[in-house]
Amino acid sequence: MLEQSIQELESGSQRRIQSASSLEELEAVRVEVLGRKGALDQFFKQMGKLPPDERSRAGKILNSCKQALEGALEARKQAFADAALRAKLDREWLDLTLPAPGPRRGHLHPITRIQRELEELFASLGFTVLDGPEVETEWRNFDALNIPLDHPARDMQDTFWLDGGNLLRTHTSPVQVRGMERLGPPLRMIAPGRVFRNESVDASHEHTFYQLEGMMIDRDVSVAHLLYFMKTLLTAIFKRDVTVRLRPGYFPFVEPGFELDIKCLICGGAGCPVCKQGGWVELLPCGLVNPNVLRMSGIDPEEWNGFAFGLGLTRLVMMRYAIDDIRQLQGGDVRFLEQF
């Protein structure tokens, strides 16, 4: 009777060992059968009650059962270890005969993408791309652009002033001044670049952002020329018709001055943080160049005139790619940048 019970325990335990799907299940079988208070231990405790001639035979059977189960447990553990090793090798396997993959290609920042598109567009229209320093003089940043001494833009809340009377440029318009001084009329130029404003940061404002200034100086330039180039610009960038509005605006460096707004492409005009819940985004301050600006750059306003515009390059990028927070553009989050 004892022998039959031992054989049933062994066969049942063998089935459980072979069907175990994890090391945890295997350990549970070991404890239940071979542990200090396991099933085999209970059989060994019954040995003392058997007659001497049966005791010897039962002992051999128990030892054989114990060895068989210990061997089966060890073999099953090894099978789990081999499977884990094979899975690891499959994951880490590398064919050393294959050629090296080479360096990973990076991603152009979305601002760089749009800036290059604009440069190619205006170059095809006969415009020259100019650049200038980010640290500017007060004269080129304000005075030469007909911005009076009492203008709010000169206050500390808008401008980063530096030692020696210099400043971080608040717009790329100083490059227009440099272009007029160096090249003279007739002149078609754009000036993309980074600018700085000393203001609070939120979803639609940054202390560091990008603009693109444009200017055309020639004879008999009118508002019609300005509108033609602005419509050509917006159509090329957004690849579709966009809703715009032109309203009067005051800027010291243009007369007359206009604000060209675009219906927010994030919310469709319903209102969101980017458009300050108004449905429209200020995109293109523009107008005809003020004669005083021409005169201070050595150009005779009686002979020459022109138009100028200032494009918020960062906001244009947000409209193009439906980005609802300006802080993402300079946040350095690779997960964001890899989308482009």
Q: Assess if residue 102 is contained within a domain.
A: no
Q: What integer pLDDT is reported at residue 48 of this predicted model? A: 64
Instruction: Report the number of distinct structural domains present in the chain.
Output: 2
Do 86 and 116 lie in one domain? The reply is: no
The dihedral sign for the CA sequence 106, 107, 108, 111: negative
The dihedral sign for the CA sequence 271, 229, 227, 257: positive
Do 46 and 126 lie in one domain? The reply is: no
Q: Assess if residue 9 is contained within a domain.
A: yes
Q: Assess if residue 84 is contained within a domain.
A: yes
* Domain containing residue 32: 2-92
- How would you class 271 by CB atoms within 10 Å of its CB: exposed for 0-12, middle for 13-18, buried for 19 or more? middle
Q: What integer pLDDT is reported at residue 157 of this predicted model? A: 65
Do 33 and 158 lie in one domain? The reply is: no
Q: Assess if residue 104 is contained within a domain.
A: no
Any idea which of 24-38, 67-81, 119-133, 285-299 has the lowest mean pLDDT? Answer: 24-38
Q: Alpha carbon of 227 to those of 158, 207, 209, 213, 261: distances in Å?
A: 30, 30, 25, 15, 13
Q: What integer pLDDT is reported at residue 88 of this predicted model? A: 86
Across 107-117, average pLDDT: 89
Q: What integer pLDDT is reported at residue 2 of this predicted model? A: 67
Do 163 and 265 lie in one domain? The reply is: yes
pTM over 0.85: no
Do 128 and 230 lie in one domain? The reply is: yes
Q: Is the pLDDT of residue 57 over 80?
A: no
Q: What integer pLDDT is reported at residue 1 of this predicted model? A: 62
DSSP notation for 167-220: EE-SSSHHHHHHHHHHH-SSEEEEEEEEEE-----BTTB-SEEEEEEEEEEESS
Do 10 and 151 lie in one domain? The reply is: no
pLDDT digits (tens, 9 = 90+) for 140-178: 999 999 988 887 777 766 889 898 889 999 999 999 999
Across 33-38, average pLDDT: 75
Count of residues in the chain: 340
- How would you class 135 by CB atoms within 10 Å of its CB: exposed for 0-12, middle for 13-18, buried for 19 or more? middle
Q: What integer pLDDT is reported at residue 241 of this predicted model? A: 72
Across 172-189, average pLDDT: 93
Q: Assess if residue 142 is contained within a domain.
A: yes
Final residue belonging to a domain, choices 28, 59, 92: 92
Do 148 and 48 lie in one domain? The reply is: no
Q: Assess if residue 97 is contained within a domain.
A: no
Q: Assess if residue 99 is contained within a domain.
A: no
Do 29 and 138 lie in one domain? The reply is: no
Do 75 and 137 lie in one domain? The reply is: no
Q: Assess if residue 330 is contained within a domain.
A: yes
